[in-house]
Amino acid sequence: MSVAVMAQKNQTYLTLNNGVQIPQFGLGVYSIPAGEVTYNSVLTALKAGYRHIDTAHAYRNERSVGQAIKDSGIPRDSIWVTSKLWPNEYGEEVTPKQLDKKGYALTESLRIFINHPKIRHKVTHKSSELTNFATN
């Protein structure tokens, strides 16, 4: 039995309130540079049996995640992708547009969108340094 098959069989799941099961363990791609590094990390994790990938638009590596999922050959309905919306992306008018904008980069694998809590730091667009800003 391959390592990937063993890992998938040993994967533990959590049951959500609606009865849907989500893999308990996954790969988080925060701070992993977009491109080859993220792509290879996600592809390696999927080959090892991981079926849950956690990303966010602010990480700026969603396209690499999506490409690795596509290239893995694993059925998309067996992979959980979690991503996040920032507080400035909340609202009846804004949220649907943001979901459409982000969804294309992640293929049809996106399963959960999380409303990211307000935090006292944000990731700048030019670097991964944290910059302070005031929240309400």
Q: Hey, what amino acid is at 78?
A: S
Instruction: Work out the pLDDT band at 1, boundaries 50, 70, 90.
Output: low
- Distance, C-alpha 52 to centroid of its chain: 8
pLDDT digits (tens, 9 = 90+) for 49-64: 999 999 887 888 988 9
Q: Is the dihedral of CA 41, 43, 46, 51 positive or negative?
A: positive
Mean pLDDT across the chain:
75
pTM of the shown model: 0.70
Residue 103 to residue 109: CA distance in whole angstroms: 9
Residue 5 has pLDDT above 60, yes or no: no
Can you list the domains of the chain with their CATH numbers? 3-132 (3.20.20.100)
* pLDDT at residue 125, rounded to an integer: 42
Residues carrying an active site annotation: 59
Tokens 């990937």 -> residue: 4
